[in-house]
Amino acid sequence: MYFFLVLFILGVTPSICKGQHENTCNVVPKDKYIEVGSNIDIVCQTSCVHGKIFWTINNRSVDKRLSNTINSSHTVLSLRNFTHQSAILQCHSEDIQQVLGGTTIKTYSKPINISCILHKKDQTFEGSPDQITCKWEHEVNPSLAVNYVLRASSSEQLFEICNSSSTNCNNEIDLLLQNYTITVRAKTFAWEVDSDPYTFNPDHILKMIPPQLKEPTVSDDLLVEWERADLSKWCRCQVKYSKAVNGRTSEWVRNKNLTKHEHGKVTIEKVESCSNYTFSVRCALDKAPWSDWSQEKVLTTKLNKRDVKLRLWRKIDELDKNGVRKVHAMWMEIPSTCQDTFTYTIKQTPYKEHMVGVNYTDTLCGKPTCDVDVSQDAHRINLTVHNKDLLEFMDSVYVPAIGESLPQVTDIQTSTLEGVILVSWKAPIQPVSGYMIDWTHNGNQYQWKESNDTNTALSNLLDKTPYNITVTPLFDDKTGHGTQALQICSRVADPGNVTIHVKANDKSALVSWNVSQEACSDVTVDGTERVNSLKDLNPDTQYSVYVKATALTGTTKSSENSFKTKRFGPGLITAVGICGSIIILIVLSLGLSCAVQWKKFQEKPVPNPGNSSMASWPALSRQEGICPFQPFSNPTESLCDRVYTEETQRMSISPPATGCNGNLMSDQTDEYVDPGTVPAPDEQNEDLVNHAETQHLSSPDDSTALLSSETSPYRSQTFVESPASKHVNHSKRVPVKQPEKTALVTVYVTLDMFQQGQGR
């Protein structure tokens, strides 16, 4: 059609506009709307240029095979199955690369997926439908205002049902029991399109009213019943029931087909005791849409005896010093949702009924755990549960005797997988009726389950928590001995927090760290403290260090710790310290020695001059070859100590002195010369002559002054001639030339003389 239109334009236009548009370039048609998926031809007039042209759509080149040149001034672009929602087509000159003209092509679609429902406006009672509701889908630009017209036709009539500006429509209708065809027309200012026809049978779009649900009844099973208004036709129904537990809702659906004249009834088995259930029902004719759900009914189920599973179990302590074992009995509590009040009673009975001397009473327990005492013999623990309606439940468990030979499982293996502990074991040789597995994380709270296999999975565990697991074989009326597996964690935790400490030297640093480990933390090293030495560091330099703990489950990094190395090493500091200590010890030792010597000097006794005597000191005689010192018998004795008093002269007689070679020196005499009083050589010779002539003092006045009884402490002293004055050898004390003439010298010893001698 478009092609013939183009040919007409090309044939007529030149004759009409000849000469007027000889130099015109243009593209036609302009701003065209077409249905999506249809075909269109676009003409480019090229009178203004010469040469070849090419096309673009949305700035992308079009295959040249789609373009056809009619004559030197017209080229046609043929587009097939056009699906662009909106496209800009342009015609270009290849020679001058200039746009000669362009146009915009937009598409529209028709409404699809039409569906209609016949129903009653009042859904409370059954009757002929009086309403029709239809809906459809239409992809359209939201900016466009579209008006929809819903039309129906049959073999006898054609009529309009409703108008709408949206994709649904509702209106009253009275349809006959025959097939109808419905179409939807969409109309805008630029285009108009009809949908494909939708043909239906009224029974296939008829929506029933919801059925009437009766109150459910429950005994051991739950019975749900309902009634429907129209029993003339076969229908299908659904029963929906749900149960909410801990904020989570579980939902189930039961299907039921009903024949003519049949009401609905469904029995629901295995509903849980003391639980709230919600019920509703809906029905539909064959191929027709479902009715609305009926009004919901809520029912609380009663306690069903078959649902009571006490699962009585026990944990046994060691025998105490009184021969008593404590048994911790535990069982599954009746659900708290049951409104009844239940009483739990525990009684222990000897396994051998002929035992005498044992009298146990019932123990009333207020919670699903209870402790009772038994002896070392075998017992059976009996649990009784009853309520006010005298509904009674019982269970029992066996307690082996001490030393009783019973089978037990072996080779228990455990592993973890995403928070679940997997347990497996090897069965005993004897046949068993099952296995009881119990586990605990603190020794007080236990969980347990029964299994018929030699493996099980433990779930709902605390995260990153160690568990102790025990497996016990079960027999018809007894239990074997339990076997405990190695402790295992529900999941391995990341490494704990890392804390580091640094001790720095000049060229090294000692880094130590602590890892706070939990019971299930995963670490790559043993222990909680580690150290490492950092070497080859620079003195007096700032550094930072951290420690990272890595495990299979993750990584933990400590905070960075900054430290500065010391300027000098510990060896230098130690050497300086040792030298300083030695110097201090030397100074202290010298000070102590001086203090001791000074103390000795201070404490040395000074003779009382009043108790001293006067003696004659022999004068030195100049003699060649004599010894420079006298041979003292006491090395500490001085010449001043050898003063002969009168008393000493009487009591002892000095032995003859010997020379250096051991010969007697009877011709030598001793002489003490005060260096401060030694006269000149001439004066000395003169004094010696004077002394040789007399044995008295050179000046009688001086002697009298020194021996004055009123002023001198020597008033009681008398002159005594030294016993060795005649036969004492000379001993040189000072390097002074001595006269050849020997004379006796009188010497007075005073305290002042000692002090002057020490000062000099």
DSSP collapsed to 3 states, 109-160: CCCEEEEEEEECCCCCCCCCCCEEEEEEECCCCCCCCCEEEEEEECCCCEEE
Q: What share of the chain is helix, strand, coil (3-state, %, to 5)?
A: 15, 40, 50
pLDDT at site 249? 86
Give the separation between CA 409 and CA 304, rounded to whole angstroms: 35
> Could you tell me the sign of the dihedral formed by the alpha carbons of 51, 56, 61, 64, in that order?
negative
pLDDT at site 699? 40
User: What's the pLDDT tens digit per position in 478-499?
Assistant: 899 999 999 999 888 777 778 8
pLDDT at site 357? 52
3-class secondary-structure state, position 357: coil
Give the separation between CA 592 and CA 709, rounded to whole angstroms: 46
Instruction: Look at 87-96, 179-188, 380-389 and tell me which has the smallest mean pLDDT.
Output: 380-389
Model confidence at 297, in pLDDT bands (50, 70, 90)?
very high
3-class secondary-structure state, position 106: strand
Q: Are 600 and 592 in contact (CB under 8 A)?
A: no
Residue 138 identity (one-letter amino acid)? H
pLDDT at site 669? 38
Q: Is the pLDDT of residue 652 over 60?
A: no
408, with CB counted inside 10 A (0-12, 13-18, 19+), is middle
User: What's the pLDDT tens digit per position in 40-51?
Assistant: 999 999 888 888
Give the separation between CA 700 and CA 585, rounded to whole angstroms: 60
Tokens of 130: 């009086």
Q: Are 315 and 437 in contact (CB under 8 A)?
A: no
pLDDT at site 8? 47
pLDDT at site 569? 72
589's CB contacts (< 8 A; 6+ apart) are none
Q: Is the pLDDT of residue 756 over 70?
A: no
* Residue 261 backbone class (left: φ over 0; alpha: ψ -120 to 50; beta: rest): left
Q: Are 615 and 722 in contact (CB under 8 A)?
A: yes
Q: Is the pLDDT of residue 667 over 50?
A: no
Share of the chain above pLDDT 90, in %: 32
Give the separation between CA 456 and CA 422, rounded to whole angstroms: 6
pLDDT at site 712? 47
Domains, the chain: 25-108 (2.60.40.10), 112-204 (2.60.40.10), 212-301 (2.60.40.10), 312-489 (2.60.40.10), 498-570 (2.60.40.10)
Q: Is the pLDDT of residue 526 over 60?
A: no
User: What's the pLDDT tens digit per position in 221-256?
Assistant: 889 999 988 888 899 999 999 988 777 888 999 999
Model confidence at 391, in pLDDT bands (50, 70, 90)?
low
Triad 340, 341, 343: Cα angle to 5°: 135
Q: Are 348 and 380 in contact (CB under 8 A)?
A: yes
pLDDT at site 324? 92
Query: Strand ranges (DSSP E) for 535-690?
Result: 542-545, 548-550, 555-557, 561-564, 615-618
Q: Is the pLDDT of residue 510 over 80?
A: yes
Q: Is the pLDDT of residue 272 over 70?
A: yes
pLDDT at site 358? 57
Q: Are 514 and 531 in contact (CB under 8 A)?
A: no
- Cα–Cα distances in Å, from 608 out to 273, 611, 712? 127, 6, 13
3-class secondary-structure state, position 15: helix
Max distance between CA atoms of the chain, in angstroms, equals 199
Give the separation between CA 350 and CA 346, rounded to whole angstroms: 14
Does pTM surpass 0.75?
Answer: no
pLDDT at site 91? 92
Beta bridge pairs of residue 568: none
- Cα–Cα distances in Å, from 484 out to 298, 413, 467, 470, 514? 47, 10, 11, 4, 33
User: What's the pLDDT tens digit per position in 603-620?
Assistant: 766 666 666 666 655 554
